[in-house]
Amino acid sequence: MSATYLDAKGRPVVVVTGRGVVTALGAGRTSNWRALTAGRSGLTRISRFSCHGLKTTVAGTVDGLGVEPYSAPALCVAMATEAASEAILEAGIGTPSAFPGALFLATPPAEIEWPQRRQLYAAPSADDARGYRRLLAAARLGRLESAFPEFQFASVADRLSERFGTQGMPVSVSTACASGASAIQLGVEAIRRGDTDAALCVGTDGTVNIETLVRFSLLSALSTQNDPPEKAMKPFSKDRGGFIMAEGAGALVLESYEAARARGARILGVVKGCGEKADDYHRTRSKPDGSAIIGAIRSALADAGTDPGEIDYVNAHGTSTPENDRMEYLSLAAVLGARIATTPVSSNKSMIGHTLSAAGAIEAVFSLLSLEMGFLPPTINYDVPDPDIPLDVVANTGRDAQIRTVLSNSFGFGGQNVCLVLGAEPT
């Protein structure tokens, strides 16, 4: 193996050869990039269900894929299929039904939803049982057997594995809002170990339903700034009030640099490093000293062999919650030092919302597009800067900038923090 195919630690260099994305802004890289660069928001009033009486009535739903009736796993499969197809097509790898590598999927927890519960409950019951006894009796009679595979945790990965013919046992991962980045990290590690030459890494999330909305609302995590919907998220602003739930999927085809070059693939970027650090402070809050987030950023830089001074741009987690944005700033400042004042930072979530399990994968796709296009999408709704967060926010309009190295942050409830260092092809 030629030395250029190995990184400084002697491991195979892992490159990106395909990218696919679906968000509330649309399906595909082109429509997403057009909207992102124009600073357009995909957040709208929720029409999927009645929001009467709810404090948050806005979301970034994906409604154009013909998933009727809605169920989270069905939408997750549809969006992931769209994004993965686009990524595989761009990579030109394998055949459409035989991907020569493993599947790593970030996907939300799956469980039976209210329509299915109600359908079972409405079925005739011999002894007029109530509650779960009634549900179980109906299930035992096979009343809804066709729905079983959909509500297994393995279902979304299984459908994708079948559709794309990926190799081996598909792996489903959850690190809450860091899941998408974890899926990429799993792919990178598998290629570095030589377990596989290629990996299809996908993050998908389609869980805008009433119960999940209420649950996030009860955690006081959601913005209630419903009017107008496109201004509901204001990352890094003083008047930020929480995040907005959103749907989408992002997909990357990863390959060893050597394998990609050998087949003449176009190199779209390098995953230089991945880093993690778990928090042991609180279930929904990070350590006040930021040590877990700082640890994740530092570990990604160390894994990449990248000096903090080489970070040209930060694709922030930027959830627009009072806590996250402050902690993210403090942690970035701790690692980047004085350079933080002049390192541009964007939160894609200002436009696409918080795509939860998919966020890390979607934002990696956008980071790679920034590298390719030499353009940084804006953080919209940045009208009232927070003096406690003196970041170089790419405010309201995008910026031309030739960059070579991007830091992409993802932090999850439950304290699971994952950072990626993405770079341009080595010259």
> What are the catalytic residues?
177, 317, 354
Torsion of CA 216, 291, 186, 205, to 10 degrees: 10
* Choices 27-35, 76-84, 217-225, 311-319; region in contact with other proteins by CB under 8 A: 217-225
For 127, how many CA atoms within 13 A lie in the half-sphere containing its CB? 8
By CB under 8 A, the residues from 112 to 131 that bind other proteins are: 112, 114, 116-118, 121-122, 130-131
With a CB cutoff of 8 Å and minimum separation 6, the contacts of 29 are 19, 20, 21, 86, 365, 369
Are 336 and 368 in contact by the 8 Å Cβ rule? The answer is no
Shortest Å distance, C-beta 315 to other proteins: 21
Strands (DSSP E) along 248-294, which ranges?
Answer: 248-256, 269-278
Using DSSP's 3-state secondary structure scheme, residue 233 falls into coil
174 binds other proteins (CB under 8 A): yes
Q: What are the Cα distances from residue 117, in Å, to 47, 77, 89, 132?
A: 22, 21, 39, 9
Per DSSP, what are the bridge partners of residue 315?
346, 408
10 binds other proteins (CB under 8 A): no
76 binds other proteins (CB under 8 A): no
Shortest Å distance, C-beta 193 to other proteins: 5
Kindly tell me which of 226 and 416 has the beta carbon lying closer to other proteins.
Answer: 416
Exactly one of 158, 312, 328, 363 binds other proteins (CB under 8 A); that residue is 158
182 binds other proteins (CB under 8 A): yes
Kindly tell me which of 43 and 102 has the beta carbon lying closer to other proteins.
Answer: 102
Exactly one of 64, 96, 194, 426 binds other proteins (CB under 8 A); that residue is 194
With a CB cutoff of 8 Å and minimum separation 6, the contacts of 384 are 234, 237, 238, 239
210 binds other proteins (CB under 8 A): yes
Q: What are the Cα distances from residue 287, in Å, to 219, 243, 297, 389, 415?
A: 18, 20, 15, 18, 9
Exactly one of 33, 99, 164, 216 binds other proteins (CB under 8 A); that residue is 216
38 binds other proteins (CB under 8 A): no
Kindly tell me which of 5 and 366 has the beta carbon lying closer to other proteins.
Answer: 5
C-alpha 381/C-alpha 385 separation (Å) is 10
Shortest Å distance, C-beta 214 to other proteins: 4
Shortest Å distance, C-beta 171 to other proteins: 5
By CB under 8 A, the residues from 349 to 388 that bind other proteins are: none
149 binds other proteins (CB under 8 A): yes
Bridge-based pairing of strands 344-346 and 58-59 is unpaired
414 binds other proteins (CB under 8 A): yes
Are 189 and 173 in contact by the 8 Å Cβ rule? The answer is no
Q: Fill in the amino acid letter for 219.
A: L
390 binds other proteins (CB under 8 A): no
With a CB cutoff of 8 Å and minimum separation 6, the contacts of 148 are none
Say if residue 344 is preceded by a cis peptide, omega within 30 of 0.
no
End-to-end CA distance of the chain: 18
Exactly one of 16, 22, 84, 171 binds other proteins (CB under 8 A); that residue is 171
207 binds other proteins (CB under 8 A): no
142 binds other proteins (CB under 8 A): yes
271 binds other proteins (CB under 8 A): no
Kindly tell me which of 174 and 226 has the beta carbon lying closer to other proteins.
Answer: 174
Q: What are the Cα distances from residue 188, in Å, to 90, 181, 199?
A: 19, 11, 8
Per DSSP, what are the bridge partners of residue 273?
421
Kindly tell me which of 377 and 415 has the beta carbon lying closer to other proteins.
Answer: 415
* CA angle at 347 for the pair 37 and 279, rounded to the nearest 5°: 155
Kindly tell me which of 98 and 281 has the beta carbon lying closer to other proteins.
Answer: 281
139 binds other proteins (CB under 8 A): yes
DSSP structure class, residue 11: P
282 binds other proteins (CB under 8 A): yes
Shortest Å distance, C-beta 165 to other proteins: 11
Exactly one of 136, 262, 341, 384 binds other proteins (CB under 8 A); that residue is 136
75 binds other proteins (CB under 8 A): no
Kindly tell me which of 145 and 307 has the beta carbon lying closer to other proteins.
Answer: 145
Site string for other proteins, 291-310 (x = CB under 8 A): -x------------------
1 binds other proteins (CB under 8 A): no
70 binds other proteins (CB under 8 A): no
C-alpha 64/C-alpha 60 separation (Å) is 12
Shortest Å distance, C-beta 326 to other proteins: 21
